[in-house]
Amino acid sequence: MKKQFLLFCVTVLMLLGFKSFGQSTVTISSGLSSDTACAGTTINFTATPVPSGSYGYIWNVNGSYAGPSSATYSTSTLPTGMNVVYCLLTNAAGDTIYGASDTLTLTIDSLPAIFPIASATTPAGVCIGDTLNLTDDASGGIWVSSNPTAATVSTIGTVTGISLPVGGGGPGGPSVRIYYIMTNSCGSDSVNIRVRVAQPASAITVSSATVCIDSSVTVSDAAGGGAWNSSDSTIAIPGVNFSAGPPPSLIETVTGVAVGSVTITYSGTNACGTYTETTDISVIDCSSTAVHNVTSLADGCNIYPNPSTGVVNILANSSKYAQAKCTVTNMVGAQVKTATINTNQEATLELNVPTGVYFMTITAGEETYTTKVVIMD
């Protein structure tokens, strides 16, 4: 109580202009190069009495007793804003005041206040060629994109989609980070938000419109964030998970299960909107024993090489017929080649057709034999 009472009395006297109450005086310093410091900085105050000797000290910060009875006072907890510090010089017992220092005024600054970024859409996303507005409640900061080749950001937080960023990003699609940075004399602080960059869906690209049972083809689409589905999972199924391939494709595998035709659908929603794309795939039996619509010629047929680069040899054996008709159709049943061949002797057939799977039918009288022919590069 004695210190608080003395402090009160001296404060009143200081307001009246009294600084010294005896032959001794005291000055204080903060050790800082200026009268401004950052929050959390340790400040070492020092009292210097004149004349030197054995004294007591009472430190005051912002009108309250603050420090021990020593010539130094250290603190790192001064509040932000203006702080007023002074020191009373007393006898060693602390019951007689010799004088009071001048007040020392220090301003404490903090790191800049910053807030979470707000996006015009949730989740934040931008379509290539479109814009997205971002805001932050703190003013005076700067906006920065982690990948300006994929998305730029203006000085007012407008994000423009440029291209798909290289890399993954998961099912939501590739993304960039947009940063908002605030800086003052005490340093910098920042917040960021992930912005998905998307492009509109396009026609599905398929590696082959036909697939053998237990084999796979790949399908891909430019848009991210979608899901693959099959119109009949008993015939063909897409893979369990889709994976982000090199931009701009999102790639999936489709595996044949049974003979038939299915429609593969890719659908979803991204920053460019809602989309649905489809493609048809035929599943065939590619085993060496697979025969379609067969009533065998009397002594069978031999077609080789198969697969072929375009030229096949045909040997159609028959004890009843001297000639046979050879018809080649594509997967949709369109006729691409016909020829008449002599039975029981080798014939050569040149197929100038695109690579793929075709069906060759040999007809002699009432007998037919149909098999698959694969044309390769």
In sequence order, what are the residues at sequence separation of 6 or more whose Cβ sits closer than 8 angstroms to the Cβ of residue 91?
Answer: 55, 56, 98
- Burial of residue 134 (number of CB atoms within 10 Å: 0-12, 13-18, 19+): buried
Q: Which CATH number fits domain 205-284: 1.20.120.530, 2.60.40.1080, 1.10.40.50, 3.40.190.10?
A: 2.60.40.1080
118-198 fold: Immunoglobulin-like (2.60.40)
* CB-CB neighbours of 59 under 10 Å: 24
List the one residue out of 121, 272, 125 whose CA is nearest residue 202.
272
Identify any residues that bridge with 193 across adjacent strands, giving them in sequence order: 178
- What integer pLDDT is reported at residue 243 of this predicted model? 42
- Report residue 121's pLDDT band, with 50, 70 and 90 as the boundaries: confident
Spatial separation of the C-alpha atoms in residues 315 and 120, rounded to whole Å: 71
Query: Does residue 201 have a pLDDT over 60?
Result: yes
pLDDT at residue 376, as a whole number: 87
Beta strands across the sheet bearing 118-119: 118-119, 131-135, 158-161, 151-153
Where do runs of H (alpha helix) occur along the chain? 2-15
Mean pLDDT of the 319-323 span = 72
* CA dist., res. 88 & res. 84, Å (int): 14
d(CA 279, CA 111): 56
- Burial category of 356 from C-beta neighbours within 10 Å (exposed 0-12, middle 13-18, buried 19 and up): middle
Amino acid 294: pLDDT: 33
Per the CATH hierarchy, to which homologous superfamily does domain 2-109 belong?
Answer: Immunoglobulins (2.60.40.10)
Give, in degrees to the nearest 5, the angle at Cα 141 between 137 and 146: 105
pLDDT of residue 27: 93
CATH number of 301-375: 2.60.40.1930
> Mean pLDDT lowest for which of 17-26, 28-37, 326-335?
17-26
Asked if 283 and 351 touch (Cβ cutoff 8 Å), the reply is no
SS3 of residue 280 by DSSP: strand
Distances (CA, A) of 324 to 151, 268, 356, 369: 66, 53, 25, 11
Q: How far is CA 202 from the centre of its chain?
A: 21
Count of alpha carbons within 13 angstroms of residue 26, beta-carbon side = 31
* pLDDT score of 293: 37
Whether pLDDT at 290 is above 60: no
State residue 135's pLDDT score. Answer: 95
pLDDT of res. 289: 41
For residue 372, list its beta bridge partners. Answer: 359
Position 255 pLDDT exceeds 90: no
Whether the per-residue pLDDT at 4 is higher than 60: the answer is no
Number of alpha carbons in the 13 Å side-chain half-sphere of residue 373: 32
Residue-wise over 152-163: b if at least 16 C-beta within 10 A, else e? bbeeebebbbbb
pLDDT over threshold 50, residue 12:
no
Q: How far apart are CA 352 and CA 91, in angstroms?
A: 115
Determine the Cα–Cα distance for residues 251 and 253; give it in Å rounded to an integer. 7
Checking if the pLDDT of 153 tops 90, the result is: yes
Give me the pLDDT at residue 13, please. Answer: 45
Domain extents for the chain?
Answer: 2-109, 118-198, 205-284, 301-375
20-24, 153-157, 162-166, 312-316, range with the lowest pLDDT: 20-24
What percentage of the chain carries pLDDT values higher than 90? Answer: 39
Domain 2-109 and domain 118-198 have a common topology: yes
Q: What is the mean pLDDT of residues 181-185?
A: 91
Q: What is the pLDDT of residues 83-97, one digit of tens each?
A: 999 999 998 888 888
Quick one: three-class SS letters along 96-156?
A: CEEEECCCEEEEEECCCCCCCCEECCCCCEEEECCEEEEECCCCCCEEEECCCCCEEECCC
pLDDT at residue 174, rounded to an integer: 75
Mean residue pLDDT of the chain comes to 82
